[in-house]
Amino acid sequence: MTLSRKIRIGIGEDNLEFSQILKNFLDSNHDLQVVAVANDGLQTLEMVRTTSIDVLLLDMIMPKLDGIAVLEQIKKMNNKPKVIILSAFGHEELTRMAVDLGADYFIIKPFDFQVLAQRIREICGARAPQSVSVFTSDSSRQEIELEKEITDILQRLKIPPHFKGFNYLRRAILMCIKEPSLVNEVTKKLYPRIAAEFNSTPNRVERSMRFAIETAWNRGEIDYLHELMGYLVDEKKGKPTNVCFIAKISDKIRLNFKLRN
């Protein structure tokens, strides 16, 4: 379909902070408009039934009904929107199921927002306006690679992607890879920056990170924790601090990135 009006977008995403950030970005594009946001599977179905949308951005992991269950119901509808799946997991079987149920595109978190905007236009048959910069730069590609590597580490540590601390830690590690001095100014600079980005507070950021790290300690692979943290992790010393956790992982990834390049 070729649209002369704005592309109408619905978001089905249980992470309130992420969905607000995503909405703000999409609404900043003069050819895109987020007309509804839902935060669980049942709300998402109701949104699709009652709101005219061209594209649904659908998270795979949501309360009440997951993304697959939502797709199964949408498939039965007459006026179905295009569907782009947002997922922190790229399992082949999950991707196949989503496509079989009518998903038009599958994008793995973390992703570049400009890439998502371009995919929305493509599946709606619309051209990108000249004022929108399409994802081409090497620096953007490198950042996506780094975010994927960070995500893989946090998932291997068994920190659930829906935890706020998961997103805060991922962002903090990426920021410290690019700006190593931030590990020395966690309270003054790092926490406040992340809090501003996610519409939170520095104290909440710190507590959420702490909870995520404790979850990794209790549920993660001990051998892998030792590989990442070294002497910082043992029964006597206890769990690594937020700063040590962020510093060790950012240093490890920065070194790996330099060795690859």
DSSP for 99-148? HHTT-SEEEESS--HHHHHHHHHHHTT-PPPTTSPPS--HHHHHHHHHHH
Question: How confident is the prediction along the chain (261 residues), in pLDDT tens digits per residue?
Answer: 545 689 999 999 988 888 888 998 899 988 999 999 999 999 999 999 999 999 999 998 888 888 999 999 999 998 889 999 988 766 667 777 888 888 888 887 777 788 888 889 988 876 554 433 333 334 445 666 777 788 888 888 888 888 889 889 998 998 898 888 888 889 999 999 898 887 789 999 999 999 998 888 887 666 777 777 765 554 555 678 899 889 989 988 887 776 555
CATH architecture of 138-260: Orthogonal Bundle (1.10)
Helix-, strand-, coil-residue percentages of the chain, each rounded to 5: 55, 10, 30
What strand order describes the sheet that includes 82-87?
Answer: 32-38, 7-12, 55-59, 82-87, 105-108
Distance CA 166, CA 170 (A): 6
Task: Look at residue 221 and give its three-state secondary structure.
Answer: coil
- pTM, full prediction: 0.51
Q: 7-123, which class in CATH?
A: alpha beta
Tally of helices (H runs) and strands (E runs) in the chain: 11, 5
**Every domain range in the chain assigned CATH 1.10.10.10:** 138-260
Residue pair 33/8 in contact by the 8 Å Cβ criterion: yes
Rounded-to-integer distance, Cα 75 and Cα 72, Å: 5
